[in-house]
Homo-oligomer: A and B are copies of this chain.
Amino acid sequence: MRLLFSCQDQVGIVAKVTAFLAARDLNILTLDQHTNETGYFFMRLVIDGKRTAKLEKEIDKYLALPLQAQWQLTDSSRQRQVVIFCSRQDHCLSDLIYRTQSNEMSCQIKRVISNHQKTKRLVENAGIPFHYLPINKETKPQVEQKQLELCRDADLVVLARYMQILSADFLEQVSAPVINIHHSFLPAFVGADPYRRAWERGVKLIGATSHFVTEELDMGPIIEQDITRVTHRHSVEDLVRLGAEVEKAVLARAVRDFVEDRVIVDQQKTVVFK
């Protein structure tokens, strides 16, 4: 099982938590911790043992309450349920399907929601339910309600090149975190058509950024980024093609880190225990 634990820093947190575990004969497989610049403490433990309701109660009573901590205990073997949103482009979607079905990532794609029919065959061939929900200005509120229902049992919502902006209402109501892949090296090229703008600026590297979605466009906490080299020989189309490689890799790493409980949001940033 995995324990995420965070609270105001003070002497003895690690000692308290690890003594608590040792007293219950639970061996620590991995321990990572971090204290940020404001003195807030974050810890991730991988523990050899099974999560039980009793253990959770005891963590609450003996650790979380006295330390005023936020915490979460997860069963390492439980597959997280992921709902994917996409539009026309299928490279990220197809990559995530391959990785989950080959057990490279410990999660299950529960369903795919798209405002286009284009990926229907790919999704259904993989045995995954596909929901076609076209969307426009007028229908947006109702469609988002349907989307919310379809996300109710999700542990994670992934926007795999979903070309619509989710409303503040949606983000407030959705119970699972939402991870997006933006096709630029944020904060460069926020918003639409980043590859064209990168090409016009004549950059020598292009990138992709996976981040949590918040109300402000492309401004949520960054989970992972990567880049690839380009030259004057590359057209916008080349950038799109080369960038797709980076998008796939970056989104897959972010989703993988999330489902392994490696990612903690720290205000506008993330702690990612690799």
Contact = CB atoms under 8 A, between A and B. Distances in A.
A232 B272 contact: yes
A185 B226 CA distance: 12
A187 interface: yes
Assembly of this chain: how many copies? Answer: 4
Contacts of A224: 204
A269 B12 contact: no
Interface residues of A, number: 65
Given A185-B188, A201-B222, A232 B271 contact: yes
DSSP majority for the A interface?
Answer: mixed
Nearest to A90: B102
Interface in A244-274: 244-245, 249, 266, 268-272, 274
B37 A201 contact: no
A19 interface: yes
B29 A11 contact: no
Interface string A44-74: 0000000000000000000000000000000
Contacts of A201: 186-187, 222, 268-269
B27 A11 contact: yes
Contacts of A187: 188-189, 201, 203
A227 interface: yes
Interface of A: 9-12, 14-16, 18-19, 21-22, 25-37, 90-91, 94, 98, 102, 104, 125, 185-189, 200-205, 207, 221-227, 231-233, 235, 241, 244-245, 249, 266, 268-272, 274
